[in-house]
Amino acid sequence: MFTLNPWADYLTVLGPLIAVYYLFVGLKFYSRDLKARIISGRNSRRSRRPKMKRKEDHEDALEVEDPAVESVNPTSDASHSWKNEALFSQVEGLAAHLREVIAEAHEKHYEREELVLLLQMTLKEYPAIPGTPFQLAINNLIGSECAKYGSIHLDAQDKVMIWN
pLDDT tens, the chain, 164 aa long: 577 888 888 999 999 999 999 999 988 888 888 888 888 777 665 555 555 444 444 444 444 444 443 433 444 444 455 567 778 888 888 888 888 888 888 888 888 888 888 888 888 888 888 888 888 888 888 888 888 877 777 888 888 888 87
What are the domain boundaries of the chain? 1-51, 77-164
Give residue 150's region: left, alpha or beta (phi > 0; psi -120 to 50).
left
Q: Give residue 63's pLDDT.
A: 42
Q: Give residue 14's pLDDT.
A: 94
CA-based nearest residue to 154, from 109, 104, 108, 102: 102
Residue 45 CA to residue 53 CA, distance in Å, equals: 18
What single-letter amino acid sits at 135? Q
Residue 90 CA to residue 132 CA, distance in Å, equals: 12
